[in-house]
Chain A
Amino acid sequence: MRIVTTAGIWLIRFAYLAFALFPLLWLLRIALTPDQLLYTEGTTLWPSVITFENFRYVIEESPFPTYFLNTVIVSLGTAAIVTVLSTGIGYAFSRFRFRGKTALMVFLVITQLFPIVMLITPLYQILAPVGLVDTRIGLVVVFTAFNLPFAAFLMHSFFEGIPRELEQAAMIDGCTRFQALIRIILPLMLPGVGATLGFVFTAAWSELLFSLMLISSEAKKTFAVGLLSFVGRSGVDWGQMMAAATLALIPPAIFFTAIQKYLVGGLTAGAIKG
C-alpha cells in the first residue's frame, strides 16, 4: 500500500514536470530542426538531424540582438525604479500611521481592476506632447506605473517581516529614520529586494501591447514587438522565430529561478499577519 502511494506521488510529480516542460522542449526542438524537416518530421519527438543554423542567423544576421538589448534596458530600468519606489511605499505603509493611509491602499488595489487596454489611447495622448512616445524611457515610465502597486504590496509584506525594534534601537543611537532604513533595514531585506526586482523584471520582459502601440522605430523595438512582426510577415521562418524565442527566455528564466525561493519566503513573512 505504501509503495503504491509513493509511486502514485512520483507519477503526479512527473505529470507536473511534463506539463511544465513539454511546451518549452517543443520550442527548443523547433529551433533546432532544419527547415526542410520542419513539416515532414513535424510530429516526431526529436528530429533526425539537428542544426544550430537558426541560432546563428538570429544572432549574426537578424535585428534581434538590438531588440534584445532594448528589452534588457527597459526591463532593468523598470525593475530598478519600481524597486526603489515600492520600497518607499511599502515602508510608509508598514511603519507609519497617517491620514489617508487606508484610502491610498484601496486606491492601489483598485488600479489592479483597470482595463489596461482602455488606457492605451489616453496614455498615448498624454505621452506624445512630452516627447515620450517611441522612446525607451516612455516604456519604462508606463511599465513602472503598472507594476508598482503589486510590488508595493510585496515590499509591504517584506517590511512586516522585519522587527520594528531594530530601527528603533538605531534611532536611539542617533540615526535618523532614513539612515536606519538605509543602513539597518534594507541590508536585512536584500532577499525581498531581490524578489521584487526579479518579479518586476520578468513582468516587464513580457509586456507586448504597450510596446506595440508606443514604439514604431526599428532601433527601439522590444523583443515582443520584433517577434510579433516576424509573424505578420509573409513566409514566416518558424525555425528562426523559435530560435529567437528560446534566446529570449534565458534572462527571465535566470532571474526567476534565482528569486523564487525569496518570493515564497517573503510572502510567508507577510502572510503570518493574514
Chain B
Amino acid sequence: MSTTVNDPGRTGASPRTSRQRLTAAEPYLYLAPGIAIVALVMLVPLVVGVSFSFQNYVIFRPAARGWSGLENYAELWSDRTFWLALANTAKWTFWSVLFQISLGLGLALILEKPFPGRAIFQSLVFLPWAVPTFLSGLNWQWLFNPIVSPLPGMLSAIGMLDEPRNILSDPDLALYGPITAMIWWGVPFFAITLLAALRSVPSDLYEAAAIDGATGWEAFRHITVPFLLPMMTITILLRTVWVANSPELIFVMTGGGPANTSQTLPNYVFTSAYSSMNFGYASALASVLMVLLVFYSIFLLWIRGRLGQ
C-alpha cells in the first residue's frame, strides 16, 4: 500500500491546487462505485418499470405495444382482485410486523439479562433468520399439512381449529399460513436491533431511577421505551416496507390461492407479469404499491419527528 490512487504527489499538475481539488473530490471517490451500481441496477430499472405502467405492454401482443396513458390504472380501479390483494397486503403486513415487534421485543428483553446458557440460547433462537425465506415457506407449508405434521392436530387440541385440517386451503384462513411463517422468520431481526438499542441505554439512568424508588415497570415505561422509540420507528419502517414488498412466502406457500383469497400485491404483480405476461398492468400494480409505501413512510417519519419534540 505504498502508493495509493489518491496520492497527490503523483499527479503532474501543480501540487497545491491538485491536492485541494483531490481533497474536495475525496468523499466522492469513496462513494462513487457503490452509488453507481445502486443507481444502475435499482434506479434505472425503476424508471423503466414505471414507464411500462403507462404502456400497453403484453408480451404475447408485441404489435399492440404503445403508450396508453392511464389505461392500466383505470383497469386496476375496476379490478376486484386488485382491491382484494390491497386489503390482503395491509392485513399481511400489519399482523406480520405487529407480532414480529412484540415477540422480538420480548426476546430482546429476555436476552438483555444474563442467565445460564444465554449465549447458546441466543444463537438457537436467532437461527430462523438464517433460513432462506422460500425454505421457511416450504417448511411451514409442510407443517400445516395434517397428514405429515402434528401442528394441525395441536391447533385443534387447543381449540384454535375445529378439526385437524390444512388452513392453507381454507379461503378464510389461508393468508395466516404465510403470516405465521413470516413472523417466525422475522422475530430475530427485531430482537437483534432492539437488543442493540437496549444495550445503548446508559445504565446510570436505571441506577438513578432505582435510588428514586421506581419500580421495574416504571423504569421500563419512562427510561427504556423513550430510548427505544427512535430506533424502533426506523426498524418498523424498514421491516414494514420489506414485508409489504415481499412475495416469496405467498408465492411458495399458497400461490395467492385458494381463488385469490391470500393474494397480495407483490405476488399479484409477479403472477401478472409472468403468468399473464402483462408487464404494463403488473407495473401499474407495483407503482401503486410503491406510492402507498412512500406515503406510509412519510407518515411514520412525521410521527417520529413529533415524538422527538
Name A residues whose Cβ lies closer than 8 Å to a Cβ of B: 9, 12-13, 16-17, 19-21, 23-24, 26-27, 30, 38-39, 42-45, 85-86, 88-89, 91-92, 95-96, 98, 101, 104, 107-108, 110-123, 125-126, 141-142, 144-146, 148-150, 152, 176-179, 182-183, 202, 205-206, 208-209, 213, 223-224, 227-228, 231, 238, 241-242, 245, 248-249, 252-253, 255-257, 260-261, 263-268, 271-272, 274
Instruction: Tell me whether A115 and B289 are in contact in the complex, defined as CB-CB below 8 angstroms, given that A12-B110, A17-B121, A209-B248 are known contacts.
Output: yes
Residue of A nearest to B290 (CB): A115
A45 / chain B contacts, CB cutoff of 8 Å:
150
Q: Among B31, B133, B140, B146, point to the contact of A92 (Cβ < 8 A).
A: B31
Which residues 24-46 of B sit at the A interface, judged by CB distance below 8 A?
24, 26-28, 30-31, 33-35, 37-38, 40-46
B6 contacts partner chain A, Cβ-Cβ < 8 Å? yes
Q: Within the assembled complex, what's the spacing in Å between the Cα atoms of A242 and B184?
A: 19
Q: Given the complex of chains A and B, what is the CA–CA distance between A262 and B180 in angstroms?
A: 28
CB of B98 within 8 A of chain A? no
Contact, CB under 8 Å: B6 / A42: no
Count of A-B contacts judged by CB separation below 8 Å: 270
Q: Which residues of A contact B41 (CB under 8 A)?
A: 123, 141-142, 144-146
**B100 shortest CB reach to chain A, Å:** 12
B132–A248 contact, CB under 8 A?
Answer: yes
B129-153: CB near A (< 8 Å → 1, else 0) gives 1111111101110110011111001
B148 near A205: Cβ-Cβ < 8 Å = no
| B45 pairs with A126, CB closer than 8 A | yes
CA distance A145 to B41 in the complex (A): 6
B153 neighbours in A (Cβ, 8 Å)? 43
Q: List 27 A-B contacts (CB under 8 A).
A: A12-B106, A23-B143, A24-B139, A26-B149, A27-B139, A38-B148, A85-B34, A89-B31, A89-B34, A92-B27, A115-B290, A117-B282, A118-B45, A121-B279, A125-B48, A144-B37, A145-B41, A152-B34, A208-B133, A213-B274, A224-B134, A241-B138, A242-B142, A245-B138, A249-B132, A256-B126, A267-B196
Chain B interface (Cβ < 8 Å from any Cβ of A): 1, 4-7, 24, 26-28, 30-31, 33-35, 37-38, 40-46, 48-50, 52, 103, 106-107, 110, 115, 121-136, 138-140, 142-143, 146-150, 153, 184, 187-188, 192-193, 195-197, 199-200, 230-231, 238, 241-242, 245-248, 251-252, 266, 269-270, 273-274, 279, 282-283, 286-287, 289-290, 293-294, 297
Q: Which of B43, B45, B231, B297 contacts A113 (CB 8 A)?
A: B297
- CB-CB under 8 A from A104, the residues of chain B are 31, 35
Do the beta carbons of A178 and B273 come within 8 Å of each other?
no
Closest 10 CB pairs of A and B: A267-B196, A145-B41, A118-B286, A206-B132, A122-B45, A96-B27, A122-B48, A85-B34, A256-B130, A88-B30
Q: Which residue of chain B is the closest to A251 with respect to CB atoms? A: B130
Asked if A20 and B5 make an inter-chain contact with CB atoms under 8 angstroms apart, the answer reads: no
Most chain B CB within 10 A, of A21, A118, A146, A261, is at: A118
Given A24-B127, A205-B132, A122 and B37 touching (CB < 8 A)? Answer: no
Q: Are A149 and B38 in contact (CB under 8 A)?
A: yes
List residues of chain A with CB within 8 A of the CB of B196. 263-268, 271
Q: State the Cβ distance, A1 to closest chain B Cβ, in Å.
A: 14
Cα A20 to Cα B121 with chains together (Å): 11
Find out whether the CB atom of A13 lies under 8 angstroms from the CB atom of B147.
no
Q: How far is the CB of A3 from chain B (nearest CB, A)?
A: 15
Residues of A within 8 A of B50 (CB): 118
- Find out whether the CB atom of B287 lies under 8 angstroms from the CB atom of A118: yes
What B residues does A148 contact at CB under 8 A?
A: 34, 37-38
Interface of B, secondary structure class, is: helix
**CA–CA, A260 and B188, complex, Å:** 10
The reply to whether B294 and A113 contact each other, CB–CB distance below 8 Å, is yes
Given known contacts A96-B27, A112-B241, A118-B49, is B110 in contact with A227 (CB within 8 Å)? no
Q: Other than A119-B45, A121-B49, give 10 A-B pairs with Cβ distance below 8 A.
A: A92-B30, A104-B31, A113-B294, A118-B290, A126-B40, A208-B132, A227-B134, A256-B126, A256-B127, A260-B192
Contact call A255/B6, Cβ cutoff below 8 A: no
Cα–Cα distance between A202 and B129 once the two chains are bound (Å): 9
CA distance A254 to B290 in the complex (A): 35
